[in-house]
Structure 1
Amino acid sequence: MSFYKKLNELLNHLDKKKAYIFFTFASCATFIGFRLIMSIVNQQLIDGVMSNDNISNEITITIIGVVLSCCSFPIFMYFRGKIIRNSIMKMRLSIFRQALNLPQSYYDNHNNSDVMMYYTYNINSMEETYGEPIRAIVNDIMFGVCSIVMIFIINIKMVLVNIALGILLLSVNVFFNKYIEKSIKLIYDRYNVVLSDISEIYSGIKDIKVFNISEYIYENFLENNKKYETESINLNKIQSSKEGIGYFFKMLNFIFLLFYGSFLVKDNLITIGDMVMVILLHGSIATMFLTIGGTKGILQQAFTCSDALNKFYLEATEKELLQLASHKRSTKDSDCNYSVLFKNVSFNYGNANFQFNNLNLKIQKGEKVALVGYSGSGKSTFIKLVMGLYIPCDGKIFINNQLIYGDNIENIRDDISYIPQDKLLFSGTFEENIRYGNSKITISEIEHICKLVGLHDYIQLLPDKYNSFVGEHGCALSGGQKQRITIARALVKRASILIFDEPTSALDIRNTESIMKIIENLPNEITVIIVAHKLHCMEFVDNIHVFDKGHIIESGNHTELINKKGVYYDLYKSNNKKDEVFI
């Protein structure tokens, strides 16, 4: 991709691109105009003093230039800065919205740190570049061009020497740029790894402590951080070498101008004022060529971040993928009395092996269903397909007679409540955590639901009742209490389908039986789907489907499957033996 296309894409992230460009040039023009006026005034002052002329005009011009510059420059910089801040805020909102719209498969294939990179490193780098670097580039080039014109008027040889050395500086910068670009990309990747290490500490701190692997984790982080540091130091070496060579040529240019200009003054070919002006302006010409040659290197970090952000925005959203998958498929089905209907559904995780291949399953409205099977048999995949988190390769999935596709996924999910295995709670009050399921529900309705799930009496013992805080992720609560909150949250949603993912996996026998009793007594109009390992609590369900390698190999109620003495019977016996051990 060309430099100008990359620069245009970087600027396209700004909310008001044209206004930003205008205020950038306006602020630079104000600053450069003042410096040029001061250079001319200095020339006139020195020559005037040397010839005893009246310098009142020069003093007046200086005062007017200072006043105009001091008034206009801050105004231009204010509006420019405002555009940058507003753009960065909207970029963060866009990233957050895109993160919410991405499908489950994106998060399955990416680390938490990948998205965090966009919020932190990418945004911060781009914000920094929109600030001073871009303005400095425009300022250096504009001032350099103006300086060439001014010195050309005084002496053409001085200009030609400045331009010749400038072209040499440009070549040096172009040479170093390819190494700078490579180094910045490596730094970006190294930083992503470091951020991933930090993210894993937060998500896995319990396991780290329990397995006593803090030192191992630290050593791993130390190694990755060292690689990041090494690449950063390497970039610093490259940039320092480039700056050192540039400084050498600038000093060489200064020495030439000093001696050559002295001879010109001695021969009365230029005045002392001219000489001072040349000395004041010559550095801007060298700086201009350094900037032109180094612009790509200066902006490379922002280009890398902008490219990554553009790729993130181009990731297909969940709705887009669902819409594509359901294209030209009928949105209605003749079987209209099912809560869930799978018709010839095939699905895989991006490899050649299908998790499901032509799966067919019907779940009646109001039916209580259990999904059982060994780990990896397809139970969790099935419920993720029901919720539209995964998209089938082929076949149709109907929820309450609606085909899952892009435009209706939100409506379908409004009719589904999900009680996850990990019991996600937010750092708020009991009421707030339950109200997430339905923001319009009244406190009396919340209390009624909490009585149904056996949570009300416990809450009444707390000082602030329903306004009591649950702690960070519910740290102050037991496993059973957390589970009751998640069930209450699901019930207040008033969905017609409730999905329980291992609802008793981390509970003792007493809490397990209590939770399963709550599920058993749910209203008959609610369809219940349970992913279960503890099979001794499944006697009450209407149907049990046994999964094995993506296929349903047995179906029936508990008694029928026990009498069949197939896979379910073996699972049930194995399950009971484990429970006896724990008892």
Structure 2
Amino acid sequence: MNTIKKFISYYKPYKGMFFMDMFCALTLSAIDLVFPIIVRYLLNDVYLKDKSTIIKYVALIGVALLLMYVVKYFCQFYITSYGHIMGARMEADMRNDIFSHLQRLSFSYYDNTNTGKLMSRIVTDLFDISELAHHGPEDVFISILKIAGSFLILLSININITLILIFITLFMLYFSVNYNKKMKATFKENREKIAVVNAQVQDSLSGIRVVKSFSNEHIENKKFQKGNNDFLRTKEDNYNLMGRFFSMNGFFQGILYLSVVLFGGLFISMGKISTSDLVVYILYINIFLNPIDKLVNFTEQYQRGITGFERFLEVINTHPDIVDNKDAVELNKPKGQITFQNVSFSYDNRNTVLNNINVDIEAGKTFAIVGPSGGGKTTFCSIVPRFYEVDKGSVKIDGIDIRDIKLKSLRNNIGIVQQDVYMFAGTIKENIAYGKPGATDKEIIEAAQRANAHEFIMGLENGYDTYVGERGVKLSGGQKQRISIARVFLKNPPILILDEATSALDNESEKYIQQSLEELAKNRTTIVIAHRLSTIRNADNILVLTEEGIQESGTHEELLDKNGIYAGLYNMQFDIA
């Protein structure tokens, strides 16, 4: 019931269209019910009169029928066009809701969820929602009206035959309810299997360069074929059920007609029904069966739509781990002092990554973190903008707990340059402007100049309007990195996080980018994760972080004098160089 209530709530913005659609459906049902009554009247009364009277009545009835069918035309037009438009708008609203909700979910959700499966929920699962939203209420409403109306008229014509019809119809309903449950299970399995197929396609195409570099196209084909065949199997099971469902309902309808013909003939011979009434009765049988057909089709449509909607609700009902506190405040012009007090953190409450960390980063200073992989360096940086929530302790900026700062305000004051730069499909200008939506061309160019990117951009065929390709595939690693730095220049945040921003670059690219980063770090609180220790010699403080926690802390010279972990790492790199 909660699922249905939530589904109904999406009709609220379109109440006018919905009620107009229902009114048109009511009008269509009334017109269909009236026609056999007119036929009965003609057969039993009009056609028994004299010629002139017949012509007069037929002319009047003809005009009335013409007017009814003109009204039917407009009603049918509204149902087919605006009814579908209403359904499409509801589907679009749901897609907006799920996309907006996905934007609010924290990193931990995406750590455990496949992107391809999410795409399936946004696109495939909502595909049948539009049809269900439009045809569902309309088909049920029309069917109930027609079944009730035709049933009452059938009773008025002949009670005995109608009681036989009711008996057969009850068998149809029992059969339909049982098969309905079976079909729901197969539709749900269909959704799950196509989500696996979508996930496989997304994963394989995203890594197509790796696939080709290892000549492993056959492996990807095997993986895809397995998922595709599993999906095909569930579709075959589903269609087998549907085949039995529809054919059995067709058989029951045939039995209905057979019963009317047999018992109708018997009652004519007994003088309990006239031939004209039997003709009209058969016409009403068609009106009686047509809505039953609609209800049968609706059960399939309902199961398709509602299983998609249930999977949609699974995402919508996932609450974000990280939200604004009730009394959260704006972070206005922070100095940038960052304090870690007894901070502990673990992923999924299992392996502890940070344990009782206490660190004080002075405003405007450069703070570097080094250490072996798995020591928690990236996690340390991810906690500052609240990508993850600490298990214990607190992180403060200028003495304010970050949990008491509005998320948007907190993240607007933090700029991040990562090793793995993400480029959005679009132009270079659009990618730089992502740091400050609505920025002027002058601001974009100035940011690119400060990031040492303007020169190479102007060397491209279309300059700032050059299309970068999916994930920036048309640019080199160094070029993408400089664009990401230009983004942050444009954002101009007081706090800066550099997560191994130069570790994957060649020496020449590193030289340019190191200059850009040094310019970017001026007068900002900067946290640097670095593997190349030569890039952090000028840091105000260096923290050595391992799986055991903070092992060393001090300036470059102080740590070399200690001849500990940092000195060992530095000397190793120096010897290699």
TM-score, normalised relative to structure 2: 0.91
Question: Are residues 1:389 and 2:392 paired?
Answer: no
Matched residue, 2:325:
323
Structure 1 residues 166 and 288 mapped into 2: Cα distance closer, same or farther (>3 Å)?
farther
Rounded to whole Å, the distance in 1 between the matches of 2:443 and 2:263 is 91
Matched residue, 1:492:
490
CA apart distance, 1:251:
0.8
- For residues 168-567 of structure 1, the aligned pairs below 5 Å read 168-286=171-289, 298-317=301-320, 319-320=322-323, 322-323=324-325, 339-405=337-403, 408-522=406-520, 524-549=522-547, 551-567=549-565
Structure 1 residues 550 and 235 mapped into 2: Cα distance closer, same or farther (>3 Å)?
farther
Deviation track 1:454-478 (CA, whole Å, cap 9, x = no partner) reads 2222233344433333344332322
Rounded to whole Å, the distance in 2 between the matches of 1:404 and 1:59 is 78
Rounded to whole Å, the distance in 1 between the matches of 2:448 and 2:178 is 70
* Paired positions, count: 569
Indicate if the aligned counterparts of 2:414 and 2:497 stay in contact, CA closer than 8 A.
yes
Matched residue, 2:5:
8
Structure 1 residues 569 and 248 mapped into 2: Cα distance closer, same or farther (>3 Å)?
same
Rounded to whole Å, the distance in 2 between the matches of 1:443 and 1:291 is 58
Q: Higher mean Cα deviation, 516-525 or 359-368? A: 516-525
Matched residue, 2:120:
117
Q: Secondary structure at the match of 2:406?
A: helix
Indicate if the aligned counterparts of 2:330 and 2:405 stay in contact, CA closer than 8 A.
no
Q: Which amino acid aligns with 2:131?
A: E
- Equivalent position to 2:63, from 60, 65, 69: 60
Q: Higher mean Cα deviation, 188-197 or 541-550? A: 541-550
Q: Secondary structure at the match of 2:367?
A: strand
Q: Which amino acid aligns with 2:36?
A: S
Deviation track 1:379-408 (CA, whole Å, cap 9, x = no partner) reads 111111011111112211113443212651
Q: Higher mean Cα deviation, 150-159 or 363-372? A: 363-372
Rounded to whole Å, the distance in 2 between the matches of 1:323 and 1:550 is 32
Rounded to whole Å, the distance in 2 between the matches of 1:500 and 1:291 is 61
Q: Secondary structure at the match of 2:245?
A: helix
- Which consecutive residues of structure 2, in runs of 5 or more, have no partner in the other structure? none
- For residues 22-41 of structure 1, the aligned pairs below 5 Å read 22-41=19-38
Rounded to whole Å, the distance in 2 between the matches of 1:206 and 1:298 is 41
Q: Which amino acid aligns with 1:423?
A: V
Q: Higher mean Cα deviation, 160-169 or 301-310? A: 301-310
Rounded to whole Å, the distance in 2 between the matches of 1:145 and 1:204 is 59
Rounded to whole Å, the distance in 2 between the matches of 1:374 and 1:572 is 12
CA apart distance, 1:450:
2.9
TM-score, normalised relative to structure 1: 0.90
Rounded to whole Å, the distance in 2 between the matches of 1:441 and 1:74 is 47
Q: Which amino acid aligns with 1:349?
A: Y
Structure 1 residues 464 and 285 mapped into 2: Cα distance closer, same or farther (>3 Å)?
closer
Rounded to whole Å, the distance in 2 between the matches of 1:435 and 1:550 is 41
Q: Higher mean Cα deviation, 244-253 or 129-138? A: 129-138
Indicate if the aligned counterparts of 1:434 and 1:485 stay in contact, CA closer than 8 A.
yes
Alpha-carbon RMSD: 2.7
Deviation track 1:107-150 (CA, whole Å, cap 9, x = no partner) reads 11111123212321222121121133442233222211111111
Rounded to whole Å, the distance in 2 between the matches of 1:287 and 1:406 is 62
Rounded to whole Å, the distance in 1 between the matches of 2:99 and 2:376 is 31
Q: Which amino acid aligns with 1:164?
A: F
CA apart distance, 1:279:
1.1
Indicate if the aligned counterparts of 1:505 and 1:533 stay in contact, CA closer than 8 A.
yes
CA apart distance, 1:359:
1.2
Rounded to whole Å, the distance in 2 between the matches of 1:12 and 1:550 is 52
Rounded to whole Å, the distance in 2 between the matches of 1:516 and 1:523 is 10
Structure 1 residues 201 and 337 mapped into 2: Cα distance closer, same or farther (>3 Å)?
same
Indicate if the aligned counterparts of 1:454 and 1:484 stay in contact, CA closer than 8 A.
yes
Deviation track 1:425-461 (CA, whole Å, cap 9, x = no partner) reads 2233333222221235444444343333322222333
Deviation track 1:513-537 (CA, whole Å, cap 9, x = no partner) reads 3322332344531122111112232
Q: Secondary structure at the match of 1:124?
A: coil
Matched residue, 1:108:
111
Structure 1 residues 476 and 188 mapped into 2: Cα distance closer, same or farther (>3 Å)?
closer
CA apart distance, 1:157:
0.8
CA apart distance, 1:193:
0.7
- Which consecutive residues of structure 1, in runs of 5 or more, have no partner in the other structure? none
Rounded to whole Å, the distance in 1 between the matches of 2:466 and 2:330 is 46
Indicate if the aligned counterparts of 2:344 and 2:391 stay in contact, CA closer than 8 A.
yes
CA apart distance, 1:21:
5.0
Q: Secondary structure at the match of 1:128?
A: helix
Q: Secondary structure at the match of 1:123?
A: coil
CA apart distance, 1:377:
0.9
Rounded to whole Å, the distance in 1 between the matches of 2:283 and 2:315 is 47
CA apart distance, 1:290:
6.7
Structure 1 residues 15 and 574 mapped into 2: Cα distance closer, same or farther (>3 Å)?
farther
Rounded to whole Å, the distance in 1 between the matches of 2:540 and 2:247 is 80
Rounded to whole Å, the distance in 2 between the matches of 1:427 and 1:366 is 34
Deviation track 1:286-332 (CA, whole Å, cap 9, x = no partner) reads 56567668865541232222222223222223553x538x99xx999
Rounded to whole Å, the distance in 2 between the matches of 1:315 and 1:565 is 50
Indicate if the aligned counterparts of 1:257 and 1:279 stay in contact, CA closer than 8 A.
yes
Indicate if the aligned counterparts of 1:387 and 1:413 stay in contact, CA closer than 8 A.
yes
Indicate if the aligned counterparts of 2:338 and 2:360 stay in contact, CA closer than 8 A.
yes
Structure 1 residues 82 and 521 mapped into 2: Cα distance closer, same or farther (>3 Å)?
closer
CA apart distance, 1:560:
2.0
Q: Percent identity?
A: 26
Q: Which amino acid aligns with 2:249?
A: G
Structure 1 residues 274 and 60 mapped into 2: Cα distance closer, same or farther (>3 Å)?
farther
CA apart distance, 1:44:
2.8
CA apart distance, 1:9:
3.0
